[in-house]
Homo-oligomer: A and B are copies of this chain.
Amino acid sequence: MPTFDQDRLFSQRILDAYNEMSRGERYLADVLLENPLAILDQTATQLSERAGVSKATTARFFRLLGYPSYKAAQAQARVEGISSGQSQYGSRMQTFKSHKPDLSIHLQSEVQNMVRTLEQQRSDHLDQAVQILARGEKLWVVGFADNYPLAHFARAQLIRVRPDIRLIPLGSFSVAEEFASISASDAFLAFGVLKRIPQFRNVLRSAIGAGSKVVYVTDQMSRTAEDIATVTLRCRTRSTGLFDTVVPALSLINYLCSALAIYIGESAMERLNMIDEIHAEWDDLLSDHI
């Protein structure tokens, strides 16, 4: 009889149990992680059909996750939707009490997250993302709070491949003012991994409202957001460490940028070479490679 842990979020339960799941359970987990809203409006039967498993498996699945029944899980999910996030660190810290974290376990979890993140990307979505990044007249890269480093990093790579990349937020400039220059032919690369602030959603809504295309990189806990994004790419973030990880997201950026350069082709290559030349002329880099 599994304990019914009131305080753990639905998606978290799935991710925590994911490693040990059987095949059918994994299919269900994938469906629910892909579209966390499903549990709210879909019946267990519909869910079963979508995952390609029997109703019996679905019923068992929710008991495995520690809910007494599907109904209970549904009810719990509805409550979670309203109440805000609970203490994230407290429970995890307990695990470590007076230990130092094991590097090999850290490694294993990072690798698993990366494998599952990249493995689950639909190649048509990736293609679409690359096209959007390539075709946008201007390309806005958006990342607030925790996502700012990701955005910054993405911008640093993208600017090597194509011109007209703008970072949001930029310094202390007012976002709204900067934002007035959106056009329908622009593209967005938006990072909403883990922490998302209200302003982030506002920005994306405006972007979509203006007719821009949006590539949205997020985690598996966020709700599906067609009103906010043209393509959504989800990353695994659940980590054994104290903090969640954005390593898979970073790796995805790497891939997208490489793919973009190749998609753009000759002009990207020229640009890369030009940048090298400028660096050489300025002689601004330390060359202490051995």
Chain A interface residues (CB < 8 Å from chain B): 9-11, 15, 18-23, 30, 33-34, 36-37, 39-40, 77, 80-81, 83-85, 87-90, 93, 96, 98-101, 103-104, 106-108, 110-112, 114-115, 118-119, 121, 123, 126-127, 130, 145-146, 148-150, 152-153, 156-157, 160, 171, 195-198, 200-201, 221-223, 239, 241-243, 245-247, 250-251, 254-255, 257-259, 261-263, 265, 269, 272-273, 276, 279-280, 283-290
* Chain B, residue nearest A150 (CB): B149
Q: Are A20 and B19 in contact (CB under 8 A)?
A: no
Q: Which residue of B lies closest to A30 (CB)?
A: B112
Contact of A250 among B123, B148, B222, B247 (CB under 8 A): B247
If A11-B290, A106-B254 are given as contacts, then 14 extra A-B residue pairs at C-beta distance below 8 Å, sorted by A number, are A18-B119, A22-B22, A34-B107, A39-B290, A84-B283, A99-B262, A100-B127, A100-B259, A101-B262, A114-B114, A171-B171, A196-B288, A221-B288, A223-B288
Is the pair B261, A93 in contact by a Cβ cutoff of 8 Å? yes
Cβ-defined contact, A81 with B290, below 8 A: yes
Q: Which residues of B contact A34 (CB under 8 A)?
A: 107-108, 111
Q: Which 8 A-B pairs have the closest CB atoms?
A: A221-B289, A241-B258, A149-B153, A89-B272, A196-B286, A242-B258, A84-B287, A149-B152
**Residues of chain B with a CB closer than 8 A to A115's CB:** 15, 18, 30, 33, 107, 111
A142 to B92 CA separation, bound complex (whole angstroms): 29
Given the complex of chains A and B, what is the CA–CA distance between A280 and B85 in angstroms?
Answer: 8
For A18, the chain B residues whose CB sits under 8 A away are 115, 119
The reply to whether A106 and B289 form a contact with Cβ atoms under 8 Å apart is: no
Interface of A is mostly: helix
Contact B287 A83 (CB under 8 A): yes
A287/B148 in contact, CB under 8 A? no
A95 to chain B, nearest CB (A): 10
Instruction: List B contacts of A93 (CB < 8 A).
Output: 261-262, 269, 272
Give min CB distance, A254 to chain B, whole Å.
Answer: 6
Q: B85–A289 contact, CB under 8 A?
A: yes
Within the complex, the shortest CB–CB distance from A27 to chain B, in Å, comes to: 9
Using CB atoms, name the residue of chain B closest to A90: B273
- In the bound assembly, the distance between CA atoms of A217 and B180 in angstroms comes to 40
Q: List 11 A-B contacts (CB under 8 A).
A: A9-B290, A11-B289, A22-B23, A80-B289, A101-B262, A110-B251, A149-B153, A200-B286, A201-B286, A241-B258, A242-B257
